[in-house]
Every structure is written in structure tokens, then in C-alpha cells.
Chain A
Amino acid sequence: MRGAARLARAAGLGGSVIGGHLGLRLDPGLLAKLAAGRRIVTVSATNGKTTTTNLLAAALATAGPVVSNTQGSNLATGLAAALAGDLTVARAALEVDEATLAATAVDLAPSTMVLANLSRDQLDRYGEVRIVAEKWRRMLAELRRVEKAPHVVANADDPLVTWSVAEHAEVTWVSVSSPWTADALVCPDCAAPVIHSASDWHCTGCDLARPAPDVSLVDHTATFHDDGDRAVELDLALPGTFNLANATMALAAARIEGVDPAVAAGAMTTTAEVSGRYATIESAGRHIRLLMAKNPAGWQSSLGIVAPPPTPVVVAINARVADGRDPSWLWDVPFERLAGRQVIAAGERAEDLAVRLHYGGVDHTLHVGSALDACLTLPAGPVDLVANYTAFADTLAAR
């Protein structure tokens, strides 16, 4: 640890991603050294990992100091930077990019690993979603082989996650009733159809099926079946059922780390925004609430929490590398539910969105370019802005 600390200081580490990059270049073993002797919880998912990590960090902080990359720098350099932020802190809550997790897991040797959901995201960058699940599966086998097997908190309602975790022994299965099944209609193991019902799923071709949950979320209550059906109420400042799901995953992980779920739930109530998400910004009399969505599953969730009419909705789409270059996923998003209200299509790929809205029967105006400028074309008052990754980041940077 002393060597790592010296190296970290020499490289200008202390929470900065650039420092993390330099540090890893100087010593490829830095991540393992920074992680050694600490209890680390990783959080990976296609959607909700930043929020879940923030909620988890808040819960773990009730038992002492925690380092965390709560701003979402979730590649190896960001992990190194977060761990180097304070070398005296024994615990870490780390958001880890789902495609990076397998490459860093042996170095991090997490005590608890949250695997929350997998769906299509940035296809031209990550390849197909099953490949990520396959990486997770091999990663867990490797962690067992080197005797660093973590306790896994896994989403029992997600067939891809279930498949990647199926061989693992130490698992807390959490049911959060995933509303997005479109990316899990085919068995990752045998390619047979997977049948989903209200609270269950199973493969029609092999034995893969929903595991019996140890923890279930229903409405605002997380029930710990493995603890005499103990019920814990969730009272979040964050909107949406998907954030209740994120919180339940965090509760289950915090419990493994020794934090009582009721205490953990209490610590989560004050988190009102996550790196700008769900925040309301003021600009020339417009009260703009910021929502981010990156992929069809995330969009379905975000469209579910937009304010009712007459609040106008600005939807902003970019297709830079970080967004995925191909926005054809727009056609998997149920934009039809915006019909009948005031909608502006914005962002660098506003024209793609406009055609999607046209065929979805959603009247709209077109504003190619900045989401914030699009909001300013509206009269003073509340606006809901739903933006994908870089369109959201640009809005935050401009506020």
C-alpha cells in the first residue's frame, strides 16, 4: 500500500481520472495495489449503475467513510482515481462499466458485486448484449478459480444476468420486476424462446428459469425473504419505479457489507439528484427538469416519469461515439405515449427523432442542435428534458 500511495502521489492522483490514467500507465498493477486490503462493492448494469452506486455509497457511509466514483467515471482509470482519492478509507462503492468489469474484477477482488441488468446499449461499440453476459459468466468462474469469489447481488428478473450468475454459489437473488423484456426474449444459453409472465420467466428449451428471490420489491416495500420476510419501506426523493429497483439492489448489497437495511434505506432518502439527473435547472424563467436515458430500456423508464401535460417535453438525441453511432434504437422506444402533448425534437440527431415521432403520430417541432436552446424556445415555466448521454452532458456543462 505504501508503494501504491507513493506512486499515486507521484502521478498526481487524488480523485482525478487523468491521474488514474497516468498511474495505470506507470504501474499496470496499480489497481490491485489500491484495492488490496479494502472491502470493495462493485455495481454494474446497463441502466441505473450511477444511481445505484450513489445510493449504495450513502448507505455504506452510515458505517464509516467510503470512497466512490459517484460521478460515473467507471473505466479502469476512474476506478484507480476513486480508490486513490483517500488511501486511509477501507471501503469503496464503485460503479464499473459493464464491459470493463470482467477486465478489472480480479484486481479489484470485490467482496460484493451487484449485477443489476443487461440490455442493448451502444451496440456498435460493445457488440451484442449476450457477449457482455458471457464475459460476466467467465469472470465469475475466474474469480472462483483464484479464490476471490465475491458475494453477488443479482437481478432474478433478468434472464441475461441470471444466466451469467447461474453457476455461482454465493448469491442474493433480488426481484425488482424488470419492465423491459425485449432484450431477453431469447435464452442466452440455448437460443430458445424465453417466456415472460407478470412475475416469472423461463426458457422453453432448457432449465434456465427465474431463481426464487431472496429479496423482493413490491411497490415501495423491499421484503427480505431470507430474513423472516422482514419488510423495509423505501421513501426516496428520486422519482420512478426503476429507482426503487436501484435502491433495492443497493439495500441488498449494503446488508452483505453489514449495514442494516432499515438504516441503509434511511440514508437513501435524501439523495435527490445523481450527477445532474433529476435535477431542475433554471434558465431565463424556464424550470428545466433533467432526465437522462441511453437506450430503449432507459427511455421506457424515463418516459414513464415525465410530468403530465401541459408541461412541454424536449427530447434530445445525439449519436456520438459515447452514445452509439446508430440511433435506430429510437424505433424500439414507445414515443407514442408523448402523442397529444407539446414536444420538441432536439439534439444533433433531431431529424432521426423527428421521423420516429412522425410515424408514431406525435406532433412536434424540430430544433436541430442544443437541448438547452430548444428549451429556451418555449415560454417561461416548467419543461421536462429527456436527453441521451452526450446531449445530457452538454446540457449540464452549459447550465
Chain B
Amino acid sequence: MPKFVKLVLIALWLGASCMGAQGGRESRTIRVAMTPAFLHDQHALLAEWRDYLEFRLNRPVEFVQRDRYRDTMDLLQQQKVEFAWICDYPYVMLKKELRLLAVALNQGKPSYRSYLIVPARDLQTRSVHDLRGRVFAYADPYSNTGYLVPRFEIKQSGADPATFFKRTFFTWSHRKAIDAVAAGLAQGAAVDSYVWDALHKVRPDITAKTRIAWKSEEYGFPPLVAQSNVPDADFLLMQDVLMNMKNDAHGRLLLARLNLTGFIAGSPQLYDRVEEMMRLIGER
């Protein structure tokens, strides 16, 4: 950690303790569910981000990590967490029960794509249609880019996604789907472009074993959501903290490490295309 960041941290901490001494610190923990929509196994980074949020919110913050989207969805529905960073697909599914908190900016835009990746030595594949009869890795059944997109593409061509591949399996995370292709276990996988790009920065040796064969259109970036019962004050505070991350040095550093440019409030319309695809494929 650069020295000046440490200094800033110390200064902020001193300021916060003064504030705490004056106003008192609210003890109710804010729970945020994290999903494999991003590189959720960077535990050190997550811990640092959590500390940052605690400091900013002046509240204890707990990150609740679940591998499967479904689990996170359950946590939200059962109101066991206040906020969650989920994929666009679950968001669309639970739209009515959730409030859109913020959308991260991926390379300046609140969007991402689905990458169709194949082993690096496979130089022929141009689209998912070339992978008929192969072994294919899906990320999660509630993933847009890792499940909905490839199946949508197959369905569009008139084939049946259920029998198109010889064998399919779920890795329950985009990161592991990349691993599956890199290891040669699967001959193809559909992954979150943001995860692939982030991994490409951290572990280029793994991404080098894969090749992006096809890129989808853009979809709304996995949103941060709040369950409907979260008080407005908490909602707005959280939103404010996230959106202001880019305005302080530590926040910018964390964003850089998350491979993000910032957070915006976003709008539900960002996810209309996903909803449309879901309808077209008959899942909504």
C-alpha cells in the first residue's frame, strides 16, 4: 500500500473516531451479500473494501459470500441481508422485491458482455454454434452471461439448448468456468466479460490458455441492490458512499483493484434487454 494512502487512512480514521465520539456509532450491522459476479475470491481486497465501507458508513459492515446466485437470492428474499451485488438475471427475476442501489462502471460504462471462451488451441470456433456436441461449462443457472446468453443464442438458431452439447456442467462461478476451459475440462464456456478482463489483469497465465471466440452485445452491469425493507436513510447513505468512492484516494485505489471506474445510480431500463431475452427463451 502506498505510503500516502496509509496517511490518508490514518487521517480518516482519526476524523471518524472524533465523529464517533460526538455522534455515537450506530451498531446495527449492514450486511452485503457478494456473489461470484466478480472475482469474489480476492479475499484481501474484499476485506479492505469492507473496512472502507465500515469507515465510510460509520457502521459495522458484513460481507456475506455465497457461491450460488440462488443462495444470494434467498438471502435477499428472506431479508437476511440488506444489500447484495448480484447478477442482472437474478435482478430481473426479483425486480419487484428489490431496489436498484447502484451500478458499477466497467471501463466507464454500466455494461458488460458475455464472452464465449474456448481453449487457446481451438482456433476454429467463431460462435457457440461451432461447439455442438462438445462439453460446455455454464457459470450458474441464474447467470445472464454465463447461462442465459449461450442458451439464447442456441435457441435463436433453432436448436434445443438441452441437447445441443454433449455434456454441460455448472462451475458456479465465472472464474471457475474460465479455469474449466483453461484446464481443458470444457471445450467452451460463457463468462462474464468483466470477470475475464479482471482475471486477465491479475492472472494472465490462466486467461492465456483461453481464447475469446465470440463477444455478445452489451448488457446492464450486475447491479448492487437493496431488499425492499431497507430504510431509506441506509439506502441513500450506502448509495452515496458507493458513488463517492471515486472521489477519495482510498476509494479510487479500491476501484482500481476491483477493475471498476466507479458507481452510478443506474436505472432499471439497463436490464430491459435481459428481460426480453428471458421472455424470448420462455423463462419469464
A and B held together in a complex: no
Chain B residues packing against A (C-beta within 8 Å): none
Chain A residues packing against B (C-beta within 8 Å): none
